[in-house]
Amino acid sequence: MTREDTMAETVPADFTGADKPGKIIALHLNYPSRIAQRGRSPKHPGYFLKPATSIGVSGGEIERPAGTELLAFEGEVAIIIGETCRRVSPDEGWSKISGVTAANDWGVYDLRYADKGSNLKNKSGDGFTPLGPAIIPASAIDPAELRVRTWVNGEIVQDDDTSGLVFPFGQLVADLSQLMTLEAGDIILTGTPAGSSVAVPGDVVEVEVDAPNAPGAPTTGRLVTTVVEGTVPLQPYGAMPKVDDLQRAEAWGSEEAAGLAPESGVITDELRAKIEKTAVATLSAQLRKRGIHNCFIEGVTTNKPGKRLLGYAHTLRYIPLREDLFKAHGGGYNAQKRAMDTVKPGDVVVMEARGETGTGTVGDVLALRAQVLGAAGIITDGGVRDADAVAELDIPVYSAGSHPSVLGRRHVPWEVGGTVACGGTSVQPGDVLIGDNDGIIVVPPSLLEEVANEAYEQEQQDAWIFEQVRRGEKVDGLFPPNAEWKAKYEAWKASQ
């Protein structure tokens, strides 16, 4: 009997009784749509474990822990191991699967920082892995023709299929079974597509997995979970809830969805055109008129002389090296890598390195990553590694010098998205950075329009004064212009 001749009759799912799985293994990234959203491409599958006590059922509730903000859903295909196996090949992997069901891999991003990739606290709460309500037998479906969809309050937010998975189901079984025995009943969560986001108390989230092209179009039915507000505060026995804008953006799915995108129109096309024709020195004079004197990033020079810089600050802070802290925070997907992976078009990566030039703070690979994502530039008051290779890139990099050493000689990558001190001044995320051969200034977004307009006007006046001096006029009374010269300038401007 061929697959085409076999009707896939679903069976009710019950994972809470005697058939509770021995282990639940979850995959970090698999769907191309999610990988594109996250901005990083895994070369190999990456996993984490969830306890069986996290299993929930369709129609149940999930509690957003009291004092937390970012409870996020992830609709997924769950594959169920049908027979105990060890060291199977990718081609054999699918044959070891008895069925698939719908899963929702819930997580609290407020606790993510404490997990260091394990996801133990943020994804292992009671009811954080609802499964069901039905199982589609694997025997009559093609693993590359499954579809997973998620609805929030009746509106579809995730809709993808398994045809383009980076790591097919058979490969996951093969990879895991190399080192561990997979037992009948074990469950593998196979990743979520783009569209995962935050749910709030009162929301109803539904996940469905189906095989629309298989005979009978079998479906798991909708796995329904209602979000409720927790009433018992978390206690400081361990890490307490903590969020920043990076976690908000990742939990909601994007900065736009989280309401964190820079104000559209802060750097308008009109202002951009004026700024490109205005010297940083002139802009800084306008800031000083408004009482902002410490607006310069001191001690840095550009590797792209003649190329201007304009964009929004995207910040990264390094702290002084302490070996135990570097061991805990310097490896893996550290703050330095996260900063480069979360760049958006028009960003300027601004690094606080305390003026320490005895090591590199960015090299060619991470500078290229920022360039590929559309960064307008990189600024560090520390050193640049691979300086020649970095200089060959298109992205302008302002630094205090070059050094061949890596981070661990002087720095621990610490924080993305906070206020930093760079070159003797403070920089906040979203501040406007403007640079030319003279240097770089930091402009508060709320002042950009008036500063740019008045600086542009001043630039036009200064250009006119320059021409008068070229023609032989005396500087006294002309620069700055007295009432007589101001009248002459206004008359000239009116004639243009």
- For the annotated binding site, the residues are 363-366, 385-386
- From CA 471, how far away is CA 425, in angstroms rounded? 40
Q: Tell me the sheet residues that pair with 362.
A: 384
Backbone angles phi, psi at 340, to 5 degrees: -75, -30
- From CA 344, how far away is CA 413, in angstroms rounded? 20
Q: Are 411 and 360 in contact, with CB atoms under 8 Å apart? A: no
The alpha carbon of residue 124 and the mean position of all alpha carbons in its chain are separated, in whole angstroms, by 23
Q: Are 461 and 286 in contact, with CB atoms under 8 Å apart? A: no
Indicate the DSSP class of residue 263: P
Q: Which residues in 118-196 belong to E strands, given as ranges? A: 129-131, 134-137, 147-152, 155-161, 187-189
Q: Are 297 and 436 in contact, with CB atoms under 8 Å apart? A: no
Burial 458-481 (b: 16+ CB within 10 A, else e): bbbbbebbeebeeeeeeeeebbeb
- For the annotated binding site for substrate, the residues are 363-366, 385
- For the annotated binding site for Mg(2+), the residues are 386
Report strand pairing: 347-352 vs 377-380: parallel
Q: Considering only CA atoms, which of 76, 136, 71 is closest in space to residue 104?
A: 76
Is the preceding peptide bond at 168 cis, omega within 30 degrees of 0?
A: no
CA angle 85, 88, 94 (to 5 degrees): 85
- From CA 424, how far away is CA 401, in angstroms rounded? 16
Report strand pairing: 377-380 vs 97-104: unpaired
